[in-house]
């Protein structure tokens, strides 16, 4: 935060010493309390200073490690907020962070991530479709990999580069800011949804597609599948079946409200972001190589949440 200058008050140099008096006493001025800026408002100068400090600290770590290859942290403003990316020295994406409301929040989030890498165990999980991804501190989820070995290689790279990576300064473009602000202003209100009408539509609908609950070792997750088995959404993991079922209801409510956005990351991959109700984290869809495929997936989600049954994978 920017520091405010304080006016020093004069004090006596010591006891028994005479103090010079003004020739003419001036009328007392009313004390003016300086305006205090709310702590959540971050100025450009504060962000710049924070980046300079973080960059210097990262460079010092790199110099101390004497590493021959280093990674880097880059930033991007997406529709759901600011993200930081951890990239290997060859440009491979190792970690895409959760969204942050501010750029300073994303910068500070790197410290939390580094601490988790140093102290928390990585868990590698495979879903029923033989896709592997790592989970760290139940907060950071890696990309999907086609084999366990490739996922483990990514974990090792994260461990190698998390604390040995340069921080690249970032300034969001006017277009990125415009899209971000527009998304916030166009959010639909859950109170505007006719939930009774939806309940009747679900009861009358012919079942098609399904929410499939799967037990993955000691955890549970769910998938929304189209009639042809196409994956429309893959959830994160839950500690028990009841929590997983509540997750399905949360996803359905958010989809009925309909705050869907198509986002393209810096690597050219499209995915939908479904804003959750309230301050809960957004739902992130599958990755697609084209915008049209992503938009088709959104249309399918809206269709199948009405008709999908909820089943256990063993049913």
How confident is the prediction along the chain (315 residues), in pLDDT tens digits per residue? 444 444 444 443 343 434 344 444 455 555 554 444 444 455 688 999 999 999 999 999 999 999 999 999 999 999 889 999 999 999 999 999 988 999 999 999 999 999 999 999 999 988 888 899 999 998 899 988 999 999 999 999 999 999 999 999 999 999 999 999 998 888 999 999 999 999 999 999 999 999 999 998 888 999 999 999 999 999 999 999 999 999 999 999 999 999 999 988 777 889 999 999 887 888 999 889 999 999 999 999 999 999 999 999 875
179 domain-assigned: no
Coil/strand/helix, residue 315: coil
85 domain-assigned: yes
Rounded to whole angstroms, the Cα distance separating 43 from 64 reads: 32
Rounded to whole angstroms, the Cα distance separating 139 from 116 reads: 10
The torsion region of residue 130 among left (phi > 0), alpha (psi -120 to 50) and beta comes to left
Q: What are residue 10's phi and psi, to 5 degrees? A: -75, 145
In sequence order, what DSSP letters do the residues of 7-44 get, joined into one string? PPPP--SSTT------SSPPPPPPP-PPPPPPTT---H
Q: Are residues 163 and 195 in the same domain?
A: no
Q: Are residues 160 and 254 in the same domain?
A: no
Q: Would you state the pLDDT for residue 27?
A: 52
Q: Are residues 306 and 202 in the same domain?
A: yes
124 domain-assigned: yes
Q: Are residues 107 and 150 in the same domain?
A: yes
Range of the domain at 246: 187-312
């Amino acid at each position: 935060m920017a520091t405010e200058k304080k006016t020093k008050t004069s004090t006596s140099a010591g006891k028994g010493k005479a103090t010079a008096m003004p020739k003419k006493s001036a009328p007392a001025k009313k004390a003016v309390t300086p305006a205090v800026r709310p702590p959540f408002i971050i100025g450009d100068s504060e962000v710049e200073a924070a980046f300079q400090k973080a960059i210097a600290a990262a460079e010092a770590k790199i110099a101390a490690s004497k590493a021959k290859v280093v990674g880097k942290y880059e930033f991007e403003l997406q529709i759901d907020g600011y993200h930081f990316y951890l990239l290997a020295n060859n440009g491979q994406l190792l970690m895409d962070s959760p969204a942050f409301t501010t750029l300073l929040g994303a910068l500070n989030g790197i410290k939390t991530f580094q601490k988790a890498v140093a102290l928390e165990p990585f868990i590698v999980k495979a879903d029923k479709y033989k896709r592997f991804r790592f989970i760290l501190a139940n907060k950071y989820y890696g990309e999907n990999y086609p084999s366990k070995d490739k996922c483990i290689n990514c974990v090792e790279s994260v461990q190698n580069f998390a604390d040995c990576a340069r921080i690249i300064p970032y300034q969001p473009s006017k277009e990125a800011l415009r899209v971000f602000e527009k998304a916030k202003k166009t959010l639909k209100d859950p109170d505007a949804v006719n939930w009774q009408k939806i309940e009747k539509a679900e009861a009358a609908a012919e079942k098609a597609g399904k929410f499939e609950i799967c037990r993955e070792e000691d955890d549970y997750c769910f998938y929304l599948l189209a009639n042809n088995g196409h994956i429309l959404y893959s959830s994160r993991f839950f500690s028990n079946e009841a929590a997983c079922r509540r997750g399905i209801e949360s996803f359905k409510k958010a989809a009925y409200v309909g705050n869907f956005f198509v986002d393209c990351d810096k690597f050219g991959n499209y995915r939908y972001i479904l804003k959750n109700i309230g301050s809960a984290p957004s739902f992130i869809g599958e990755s697609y190589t084209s915008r049209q495929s992503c938009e088709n997936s959104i249309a399918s989600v809206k269709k199948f949440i009405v008709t999908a049954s909820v089943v256990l994978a063993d049913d």
